[in-house]
Structure 1
Amino acid sequence: MEFTVQPRAALPNASSAPLLLCPSAVTSYVLPCVYALLSLTGLLGNALSLWVFFGRISAAASTPVHLCLSHLSVSNVLLSLTTPFLAAYFALGPVWSLGGFLCQLVLHFVTPVFHINIFMAVFILAWVALSRFAALVQHTHADGPGLRARLLPPRFFTCATRRRTASRVCAGVWVTGVGVILPCTMIYSIREAAGGAAGGVAHREVCYNPDVEIGGSVSASMVWAFLALFYLLYLMVLLSYAVVLRHIRQSRRNTTITTTQVLLGRVYRNIVVIQVVLSVCLLPYHIFKPIFIVLAHSQPQVPSGNNCHPLSNIVELKSCLLCLAALRGSTDPLMYFLLDKTFRRHTRRLLRCGRPESSQQKGESVTGRASQSAGQLGDGVVATVSVNFCD
């Protein structure tokens, strides 16, 4: 059964004026500016990242994690192409016609791309974390085989660091994201957000209205499944990082080699960086989303004054947290730069306008990569433990 916002005419002693969302300066001016900025920085940063992944890092030197991050960058580019429409939506949505082309474009194209990007980010970052956990635990024998078997299937530890596995994971994430999220967003945009446009309800005649921002019970029930999946992956990442951090602390106490301690310190730093990205950009929205659903579907629709919908401020907070989730698309290239030595080296060379490299720098032999495996491990969750662990 669809959830629809009741007009004030249905309430006793109320005027016939409909309930409208009343955006503040944050929604009308700040969010459009932020989305416009995210579009510019996201396109530049992720285009540079793709150039490094496909044009600078050779196929022989590319790791499975490079493959995963390149797919994430492609998704971020698609997101950056849609953020200008989000900027226009928040700036002009209160005057756009719900049946107009731009409003329908936001509902049927921008919304699916946005949520597919979030879905891919959660899955790919979780896979990167778990694959690095598998590599470190398996090849340093941290915590013994018993704990490994309890956390993840034994086969996971044998194939998690293979390029073929990473390719299959990325393909599966794309297929799942498009195949599951697209139908869900279509149900939202056709049945709930725009399905009643011909009904003559005044608040449905503009694009920025309660039905579009709140949705209905069908889409809300689907959101619960995605929330459960997000928290499952997030807890798995936290658990894997807890095991890795304990191993790092134990190794620090048991080693006297300075270089090894430095590398372990880099692992610790990189774990903190990727966990901060997940926690700051994605976690707040997923914490607030169930609260928003409960408030939207349980609170009586009594106007707060001036025909404003009582959830106008709550909707605005939800939009700000969703913008924070979109911020990750622009900050991911910085995360790549901080975490991966190979990506950092090639990015610096590229930003130097193609300064000639020495023959020693150009050569990336198998022997050279194997000798650098410890340094790659020091660069954390986006490095391969050893060339022998990849296809």
Structure 2
Amino acid sequence: MANSSRAEFNISHLCQTSATSIVLPVMYTLMFLIGLPGNTLSLWVFMKKIAIKTSTHIYLINLGISNLILCLTMPFLAIYYANGRKWAKNNTMCQIAINGLTPVLHINICIGVMILSWVALSRFASLIQHSHANRPSRWLKVLPRAFLSRNRHARLAHALCLVTWAIVVLCVIPFVVQYSVRVTANVEDVRKVCYSAAVEVGGAGSHVFALVAVSLFFVFFLLVLGSYMAVIRHIWRSKKSVAISDTQRVYARVFRNIVIIKLVLVVCLLPHHIYKAIFIHMVKEQSLSESLPSDACHPLSVHVEIKNMLLCLATLRCCTDPVMYFMLDKTFRRHANGLLRLSPSAHESHSSKSNGGQLSQATSRDL
């Protein structure tokens, strides 16, 4: 497949539309301007303003670091899509875009999905321990004890985040080296421009990595979905035996949080991974097609643009996460309001001091 793909890279070039040359640079610029201060503020609140770190805070700190790193790549992505057709393949900025941005993008997308999976299990464990259902959840016997103990869970969160970063980085780097050395460096594109089929379509090695990444995404996506479905079922079962209105409001807020978080996952990440698998299948089919004249557009040009638009949608999550923290987490909102010199509402102040507020902090602060 690699030889067929290389032959095709030599006889046609990728054509851009305004979706790539204008829309994507504008989108990445806006995402950078929104995501950089948002994630910086989030990390400041989590790391400096919250003295006692729960396991959820540890997960969200690592997620915030991943988001911040992703935001720092966006100006380069904007420049790449705006000037990729003008850069020579051996241009320094082109090499940074190919060999620098590619691993950062894939590493942080994978890390985001995995950390959200750990957060899902953490939230589920927190909720079922503060339940007023008529019988204990059987998940208390299934989940590891480290997830059910606050002290042990905090240590587990540190370990899981460290292992997650290490595994993803060590798995991505070899594929990136193979991609840059054996695919982009050895392919002789007639036009020798940075934005080319050799870079955007890739070769056999990069396709193997992409399929592995897609498979892992769906494993973790199903884990998150299963956790949240179990939470919803547990909330519904608990609600039938609860007469305390404050607790019912907590469960309603937890359910709302679950819906919003799942919406972000489905809207931002799911389309990108589904289309990536479809795109690789189209590349394999296209490698068997007939050659085209050297001045013709590559037959996958439109599909490459769709792939890049969905990649932009996947990275949009790093901008929505700080907004989600502010909307859904009372502890984060209270500290963020103080940092921004905004006054929390009287209702929230009273609620945080009441018994219902204590229960809310014990459950919804993990959401």
Alignment TM-score, normalising by the size of structure 2: 0.89
Q: Distance in 2 between matches of 1:124 and 1:94?
A: 36
Match of 1:346 among 335, 341, 351: 335
Could you say which residue in structure 1 is the equivalent of 2:261? Answer: 274
| 1:35 correspondence with 2:28 | yes
Task: Report the identity percentage.
Answer: 43
**1:117 deviation in Å?**
0.8
Match of 1:379 among 359, 364, 367: 364
Could you say which residue in structure 1 is the equivalent of 2:170? Answer: 179
Match of 2:296 among 301, 307, 319: 307
| 1:86 correspondence with 2:77 | yes
Indicate how the Cα distance of structure 1 residues 44 and 229 shifts in structure 2: closer, same or farther if over 3 A, else same. same
CA contact (8 A) 2:326 2:332 kept: yes
Could you say which residue in structure 1 is the equivalent of 2:229? Answer: 242
- The one-letter amino acid paired with 1:42 is G
Q: Structure 1 stretches of 5 or more lacking a match?
A: 10-16, 356-360, 383-391
Could you say which residue in structure 1 is the equivalent of 2:123? Answer: 132
Could you say which residue in structure 1 is the equivalent of 2:2? Answer: 2
Per-residue CA distance 1:196-246 (angstroms, 9 max, x = gap): 2xx4x314x100001101111112112222212111111111111111111
CA contact (8 A) 1:4 1:216 kept: no
Indicate how the Cα distance of structure 1 residues 373 and 171 shifts in structure 2: closer, same or farther if over 3 A, else same. farther
- The one-letter amino acid paired with 2:283 is A
- The one-letter amino acid paired with 1:239 is G
Q: Distance in 1 between matches of 2:173 and 2:366?
A: 30
Q: Structure 2 stretches of 5 or more lacking a match?
A: 344-348
Could you say which residue in structure 1 is the equivalent of 2:272? Answer: 285
SS in 2 for 1:254: coil
Could you say which residue in structure 2 is the equivalent of 1:47? Answer: 40
Q: Distance in 2 between matches of 1:144 and 1:224?
A: 40
**1:28 deviation in Å?**
0.6
Equivalenced residue count is: 358
CA contact (8 A) 1:5 1:210 kept: no
- The one-letter amino acid paired with 1:224 is L
**1:139 deviation in Å?**
4.8
Match of 1:188 among 162, 179, 185: 179
**1:158 deviation in Å?**
4.8
Indicate how the Cα distance of structure 1 residues 344 and 320 shifts in structure 2: closer, same or farther if over 3 A, else same. same
* Cα-Cα RMSD: 2.8
Match of 1:336 among 301, 321, 325: 325
Could you say which residue in structure 2 is the equivalent of 1:75? Answer: 66
**1:26 deviation in Å?**
0.4
CA contact (8 A) 1:35 1:83 kept: yes
Could you say which residue in structure 2 is the equivalent of 1:256? Answer: 243
Indicate how the Cα distance of structure 1 residues 305 and 184 shifts in structure 2: closer, same or farther if over 3 A, else same. closer
Per-residue CA distance 1:31-50 (angstroms, 9 max, x = gap): 01101111111111111111
Q: Distance in 2 between matches of 1:335 and 1:244?
A: 19
- The one-letter amino acid paired with 1:319 is N
Q: Distance in 2 between matches of 1:98 and 1:40?
A: 29
Alignment TM-score, normalising by the size of structure 1: 0.84
- The one-letter amino acid paired with 1:254 is S
Could you say which residue in structure 2 is the equivalent of 1:212? Answer: 199
